[in-house]
């Protein structure tokens, strides 16, 4: 199992320089990846940072971390523009990029701008958008969401990101993860990504045994602010 740091893109984490500091600490401490949320948080929570601009800065400040979004709501993006953004980050980082994609879970980020929050509309936009993105960029795509349709969609791509967090607690047990993982492909290279919280030295082996190939350690202001997160990141991944 590989380990990544995954940060909010708003609140104290809305300053992209905070992400750069965290990513540098993560690389030094032996983490394998750096991921960011993708919200238009200014609609409901104050300023937020564009995840792909942030990941560009992170990519130019690190040498080996895998970079990605967890997750980008493709239905509120122009997919051809998103493909160009992701492809540009990939070019700057020797391909160290994953696109985490999903329907989008905050309806106000759609309705505030006159866009439909209907899940069926968003599902079609997601599938059509991913097909267009694939025609323009051939990097990994991981799909987020716990529903059967989301897992079915993930099976057609390169990985699945579990929606496994409450604000400050893990909301999915290892046994539930294992049950979901049993419905997903076992092909080489298919990733099962678990979002979690841990302290340095915690044993997360139950999730590894359940099928997780990535653990994303999540940070946001309800847990700790970006300055305090540096301490946890510098202490290194769980085991």
239 occurs within a structural domain: no
164 occurs within a structural domain: yes
pLDDT at 45: 81
pLDDT at 44: 87
Domain count for the chain, please give it.
1
146 occurs within a structural domain: yes
pLDDT at 123: 97
For the beta carbon of residue 56, count every other beta carbon within 10 angstroms.
Answer: 18
184 occurs within a structural domain: yes
Domain containing residue 121: 2-234
Q: How far apart are CA 160 and CA 21, in angstroms?
A: 28
H runs (alpha helix) in 38-173: 51-61, 79-92, 108-111, 119-136, 148-155
Q: Are 1 and 214 in contact (CB under 8 A)?
A: yes
141 occurs within a structural domain: yes
Q: Which of 52, 39, 53 is nearest to 11 (CA)?
A: 39
Mean pLDDT, each 10-residue run in order, the chain (239 residues): 98 97 98 98 91 98 98 98 98 98 95 96 98 98 97 98 94 98 96 96 97 98 97 97
Q: How far apart are CA 26 and CA 232, in angstroms?
A: 10
pLDDT at 63: 98
Question: Domain of 113: which CATH number?
Answer: 3.20.20.30
Cα four-point dihedral sign 146, 149, 150, 156: positive
């Amino acid at each position: 199992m590989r380990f990544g740091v995954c940060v909010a893109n708003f609140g104290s984490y809305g300053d992209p320089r905070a992400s750069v500091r965290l990513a540098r600490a993560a690389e030094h401490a032996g983490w394998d990846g750096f991921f960011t949320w993708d919200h238009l948080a200014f609609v409901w929570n104050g300023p937020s940072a564009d995840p792909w601009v942030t990941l560009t800065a992170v990519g130019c400040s690190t040498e080996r971390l895998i970079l990605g979004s967890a997750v980008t709501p493709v239905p509120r993006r122009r997919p051809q523009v998103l493909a160009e953004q992701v492809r540009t980050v990939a070019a700057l980082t020797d391909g160290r990029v994953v696109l985490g994609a999903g329907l989008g879970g905050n309806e106000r980020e759609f309705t505030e701008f006159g866009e439909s929050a209907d899940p069926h509309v968003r599902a079609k936009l997601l599938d059509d958008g991913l097909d267009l993105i694939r025609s323009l960029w051939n990097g990994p795509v991981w799909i987020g969401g716990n529903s059967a349709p989301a897992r079915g969609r993930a099976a057609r791509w390169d990985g699945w990101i579990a929606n496994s967090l409450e604000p400050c607690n893990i909301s999915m047990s290892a046994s539930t993860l294992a049950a979901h993982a049993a419905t997903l492909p076992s092909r080489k290279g298919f990733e099962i990504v678990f979002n979690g919280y841990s302290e340095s030295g915690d044993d997360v082996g139950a999730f590894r045994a359940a099928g997780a190939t990535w653990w994303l350690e999540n940070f946001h202001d309800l847990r700790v602010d970006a300055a305090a997160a540096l301490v946890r990141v510098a202490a290194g991944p769980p085991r």
